Structure formats: C-alpha cells, structure tokens
Structure 1
Amino acid sequence: MELGIVFLGTSAAVPTRYRGLPSIAVVHRGSIVLLDAGEGTQAALTRAGLSPLRVEAIFITHLHGDHFFGLPGLLQSMGMLGRKTPLLVAGPRGLYGFLREAFRASRWLPGFPLYVAELEPGEKLVLPSGLEVESFPVSHTIPAMGYRLVEPRRKPRINIEKARRLGIEPGPLLAKLQRGEPVTVAGRIVRPEEVVEEQPRAVIVYTGDTRPCPTVVEAARNATVLIHDATFTSSMAREAYEQGHSTARDAARAASTADARLLVLFHISARYETPDPLLAEARIHHDNVVAAEDYLKIPIRP
C-alpha cells in the first residue's frame, strides 16, 4: 500500500496471549515509521511481513518500559540483518542515555549511522520519505508526547468538469496547466488555479498514553485517523485518570470534537478479553470507530 497503518502491539502495560506491547508501523511508499517500540517489536515486524531494514525512523512517546524497552533488541536485529542505511530514533529526554547504557552493557554498537533526537513538544521533522512528523504535548504521569504525521504533498489533480466547461479536453493543454503553466483557449487565458486542485493530505495522529486533554483535540483536527489511548471503559474512569490514561468514551469525544474521520481505540487493558465493551461505549459518541488488534492493517492509500 502507498500509505497505511499496521498495528504490531496493542496491549496496555503487559502483553497478553493475543496482544503484544505498543508499537505501530506507518507504511509509506516502502518506508516504515514506527510509533513506540514495546518488547518484541522486531518479531512483530517479521510476523507482519515488514522488514526492519525499511524502518526510516522510530518515534517514542514516553519512557515507560512497555513503550520503548523493545528498542535495543530491534536495533541489534537491524544490525545483524546487515543494515547500513541511517536510522533516526526520536523521543523525550532520557532516550539517548538509555540507549548509551544499553550499548555499553551489551558491548555492542550499531554498524549503521544512528541518530538519536531528544524532542520537545511542538518540534517538527521532515523525514527522507517526505512524511512530516510533529510532536505535541499530552497529559500522562511522566513527560510524554503524541505525534501528528502528515503525508507529503500529492500531485495536483485536474478537475475535468471545470476544464471542459472552459473548452479544454484532456490533452497537451491540460498537461501544461497541471505543470503550472497558463494556456490560451479561444482567445482567453486560463490559469492553472482555475482547473487544478490541490489534493488533501492524509493526517495520522497518535496520542501515546494520555488523559483527556485539549492538545490532543487540537492535534487531531480533521485527522484522517486518530489512534487514541482507550485503556479502560468509563466505569474505571477514576483509575484511568490516576494512571494517566483515557477511557473509550474520552477517546470518542476527542475524535468527535476534532472531526477526526476514523478513531482507533488503542492501549487496551488486559482485563478486557474482547474490545466489545470499549467499542460499544465509543460508538455512542463517534460513528466510525475500530479497536486496534495486533496485525490489523488500515490502508489509507492502497
């Protein structure tokens, strides 16, 4: 697929028989961006049919073990598979020190260029694939951030109906307009903006672990997909907030307020044998909701 999401691990805090620890692969034209890297991420990539060698960047939301303890093993797997291309690993302060100590203890260093960036909320990076990634603050029990991913600008599209109303049929004149050049038709100058339309860009927003907060809603405005912490149902709201999490109802309300097209419930507590109670609660507040499952694929552009 040209652009899509593959869920590698969807549990909260501890793995279950059916759910691994949090990790999400955003696939874009053959490149992969990982969001979090819980233990076993390298194995989950393999099971999903995704090569660790195609990962161009890894973004960690916060330094709770279920979200980043898989990093050392993943990096070592990349090295043993012969990786030579550069890799970016980005996340909150403390990430560099963790990796430095892991390398020191294991007496191993990557045989490929590894760049570690400690980010503050509000920073924006543009990856080699063209994906734009911006961090935003969330509300958890330790410093944490979410990520907003925006696909590169797409080739403008000709509105054929508008063109025909101006007397232009598909052919060389339309090609010139698409290249940004004006043309003359029946003595009238037609400018590109009259028939050429910018195509909307897909936006994927991932909250990581968070209580309900306005920064999530702002980041998710008109998002194509919002992947939101939905650890518990609202019957456990007090416990959720004490632990820095959201309920399925909170996630759905955020998606509805932000006009996000699709809501994906994520970071599901091991106490739920099925996600049905979370889905039932969320669908009261948002029409388009799915629960993340390990190896679920959501194509955005097949």
Structure 2
Amino acid sequence: MRALGISQDLRLQNGNRVNIWVSVMSYQSINAERSAETTCCYGSSKLRFRGPQRALNSPYLACLGGEETFGRFVESPFPGLLERRLDRRCLNLGSLFCGVEVLTQEAALLDIVNRSDICIMQMPGVLGQSNRFYRVHPRRNDRFVAPTPELIALYPDVDFTDIHFVRHLLTRLRAHSDARFELVEQELRKGWIEKLSTFLGKVRPPVVLLDLEVEDCALDTSSRDSIMRDASMIGALKPQCTASISLRVQASGVSDEIEDMLFGTLQQPVAEHMIGPATHRIIAESLARTIRDLGV
C-alpha cells in the first residue's frame, strides 16, 4: 500500500510536510480495518487476503497482487468477475500491502500458487522490497523499517527518524536532486527484476503477467510509485511467463467511478485513489480473453 493524496493534502492543509504525510498514512491504515470487505488467511500464511475464504481442494486459478487485485471499496473485484466469465474458480490472493517482498518471500503463498491451474500475477511496485539501502516490513511492504549503513553513509545529511513509509523515504531522497538517488533507483530496479525472476522460476503453473498502470492526477506522478516500472523490466520477466497484459487504467477520482464504490464517509479521500467497478470489469474481460486464447 502506498501513501495517498500527498500533494493534494499539502495544498489543502496548513502544517508541517512530514506531519501531513504521516497523518495521511495513519488515517488510511486505521480505516483499512473498517472497510466493508472481509479478509481471510490461507494455510500457515499470516497475510490477509480478500475474503471469503475458499477451499483449496478443488481446481482454481490463483490471482496474486496488491490493492487492485484485492479490490478495495468494490463489491466484485476482477478475480471474482473473471471466475464468472470463465466458469472456473479464481482465488483472490490480493493483499493490501503486498509488494515485491511479500510475493517473493512468503513460502506459504508460493505453495498455494503451485497448487493452481494458472497463476495471474499483478506486477508489484518497485519500492516495496528490502535491499542494500533500506528494509521494509515483511508483510506490510509500504512500511519503511530502517535504513542500512550504506544508505546512512550515502545520505549523511538526511534524518531518517521521522520516516515511516517507503514513498516518503524516496520522496525525501529525491528532493536532494543529485546523483546519489540514481544509485538507489538502480538498486531497486535491479532487485525487482532479480527477486521476481527467482520467484517465477519456482512457479510451476503457467503465469499470466498483469501490468496495471494506474493514472491518478492527484499525485505527483502519473503512477502511484515514485520509481516506475519500464518496458525493459517487464520484458526481462516475459520469457518466464506464458502471457502478459498491460493496461493503463484510472483511479476512481479520475474516472468518476467514485459514486459506484462502497465506503464509509471518512474513507472517500482514500477511495478516490482506488480503481472502480467498471475498471475491474475491463481488467476481467481482458484476462478472460487471454486465458481463453491460451487454452489452458
């Protein structure tokens, strides 16, 4: 999960930049437990997935991903819509704080995937991974745990004590506008490719890559990740996959789907940054066509 609406909040509120950032993230985390969606766990995994819990003793397709796969604030996320289109069970393994670290380090998740007929994997963002510069929480990959000695040596002029989220960290580092940030960026891009390639090498069923680029005009960039995936990164993974789909979609605040979403009164600022039900239908239809063509 990522920090949402930072630029917008800076324009609308008076106060310190850091305090505003942290309050937005804390607000989102608190309200995550008050959403209408049910969550569940599978096997020995401590991750919380979109519910209701499904049985694992009959054939299924496994849908891995983050908040878009989870389908926050929508009644029918694309895994459920895909199930109806294909008439095949689709397990929603979307997790709200899922990043590279969760996908590649959670052994129980890999076991569930390897019992599926097809794995549909939404590409994670670049930031949510531990690396030689910083560590993230093993399950909540948006959380910045600590800088490494290498990052402290690289940025001796930065105070890391008030930084709690990886987007905030990268924004702070990028603000220095010098060549040091390129080293961090290169490390993250390299780690992203290496970790996901290793993971895909362990996946036995056919894999369909789902690359979603979410347009959200309220944020500083067109993507909700401050370091974006590029074509070369996706291309490095394609040889290990059966098919891939790239879709540019819009957050509900841009697409005007907000009125069709389900959320509490205080949750609207967060819901505006999630994709809406019509977008989920577009994703499901695109996946259904691809999977039918595969004949798997």
Give the TM-score normalised by structure 1: 0.32
